[in-house]
Every structure is written in C-alpha cells, then in structure tokens.
Amino acid sequence: MNNIKLFYKKELFMLKKTLLMLGVMSLATSAMAVESTNPFYVPAEGGILSTTSYDYSTRTLKHDYAGIRAKVYSHTATQTLEYGLSNAWSLGVTASNSWAKGTINGTISDYDYDYEVRGTDKKDKNINFEITSKYNLVSDGALKVQSLLAYGQEENHSYYGFFDDLDNEQSGAYKYAKVGAKVGYKLGYWTPYLAGTVEVPVFQSQDDDNELKYTGTAGLYSYCPKMKVSMDHQLGVEYDEYDETRLYTYGLEAAYHFTKNVALSAYGKYIIDGEEHKEDIHGNQIGLRLRLGF
C-alpha cells in the first residue's frame, strides 16, 4: 500500500512539474510573439498575412536653370499576401496599381530659339508585382537579423515616364532582382534597427535602365501592449545610378491593433531633400494600411 501511495505521489509531482513547464513555455511563446507591424515579422508556419494599402502621393521635379516644372499626383492600391514556410521563413506576393496624373510647364531654350512646354497627361500605370522571400537569421533573443530576396516587374518604371520631354519611356516592362538585410535590437518596448537593399535591373535592353539602385533606412519601432499601439519611425536615403537621383526621406507609420490578427495603420512619407542631376525633387505621401492574419 505504501508503495502505491509513493507511486501516486511521484506521478502527481511529475504532472505538476509538466504543467508548470508547459505554462512557462506558453508564457515564453506569448512573450516571443511578434506583432504584424514589427519590421522583423514573418507569419508562423502555415500562417498567412494579408496587407492591403492605399496611398496618395505627389512629387514635383523643378529645373531652376531650364525653367521646367513637372508634378505628378498618384493614387496607388497595393495587396500583399505573405505565407509562413516556417516560423522564420516567409514567401510573399505583392501586386499594385497606380493611377497618375501629371502636369508640366515651362520654357526650354534650344540654342537659337525658345519654346514653351505646357500640358497635362493622365495615365493608368498598370499592375506591378513583386515576389519576396524573407528569412529571420536571428530572432530568439534581443538581437534581430533578417535577410531579403525579391524579384519584381514594373510596367511604367519612371516616375515621370509619360513626359517625353523629361524622360524616355521604357521599351517594355522594367524587371529587377533585389537583395537586402535588416538588423535590430529589442530594448523593452523599443527596437532600433538598420536596413538596406540593393536593386539590380535584369533582362533589360542596352538602352534601358541598367543601373543599380540603393536604399538605406535607420528606424525606431515601438509597441505598447496596454494601449495596443505601435509606431515605426524611419529616416531613409535612396540613390539611383541611372539618373543620379538622391532622396532623403522621413516616414512614420502608426497602427492600432484591434486583435493580435487585425491592425489598422496610417502612414506617411516626406521627401526632406531630393535631387536628380540639377533638378530639385519635392514630395510627400499619405495612406492607410490594413493587416489581417489567418
């Protein structure tokens, strides 16, 4: 009888120990869970993240010496579906379409005479797409490291592409491959991070855009679980070797998390300073974004 009692006591002790371990693992898993707005987020294995965005942007190119001023207004709708191949690796597909309207005016000097340039053009820039693979190389601790590979295609690559006076249109779609990396460190509610990409044009004809493009970002992400609010500040730099474009930008996205699978955010970007050859670039962007997890 004593042996039986001792056996049951041991079994009860093991059961309590197992339940305690499961509870600790559950808390650890909950603490490690990453919200969908986090810059290092990938869906869990078998999970899907749907991201729907709409934004309105303007961009102005002004050549003080030539007296030419071009402005483009764009409405863009974007849909991204991202699937978790594992808890650290995801595959995503993005499709977007922009509806743009542009105006141009000024006077061009051509040696012996001057002529005025006036006009307004409207154009549906057609569907662009991108296939993206993200992998979290390091994610368990405070240090975060993520890699990026992507392939994409744009029907109208140039922002001012429908102005023949400013830029020749591409002979066919612009195709590219992209590689990137992101490094961050979690400090409580805050995660400062650095990110960069290199874009390589592929399958382009000799006369089209065949030059590299670079982006760099210094970001600060924060999430407050009690308020269910996240914010992502970004200082960015972009450089395009093809037309020597340099852009310095500031972006902000603020999101409210209704549930762990639903988040709605407002975002914007402002061009602090920009230049293309001797032409100044100014612009801004505002938009809304809905994330749904399945």
Q: What confidence tens digit (pLDDT) does each residue in 130-142 have?
A: 999 999 999 989 9
Residues lower than pLDDT 70 in the chain: 1-33, 63-67, 106-125, 156-172, 206-207
d(CA 51, CA 83): 12
Question: Where is 119: in which H helix or E strand?
Answer: strand 113-138
**Alpha carbon of 58 to those of 22, 48, 70, 76, 211: distances in Å?**
53, 32, 11, 11, 25
CA distances from 79 to 6, 75, 203 (A): 62, 14, 25
Judge whether 249 and 218 are in contact, CB under 8 Å: no
pLDDT at 64: 60
H/E run at residue 111: none
What pLDDT does residue 127 have? 83
Residue 47: its pLDDT value, please? Answer: 95
Listed in sequence order, the residues at least 6 apart from 51 whose beta carbon sits closer than 8 Å to its beta carbon are 78, 79, 80, 82, 289, 290, 291, 292
Instruction: Report CA-CA distances (Å) from 69 to 107, 249, 280.
Output: 9, 21, 10
pLDDT at 102: 80
Task: Note the pLDDT of residue 173.
Answer: 81
| Predicted pLDDT of residue 171 | 57
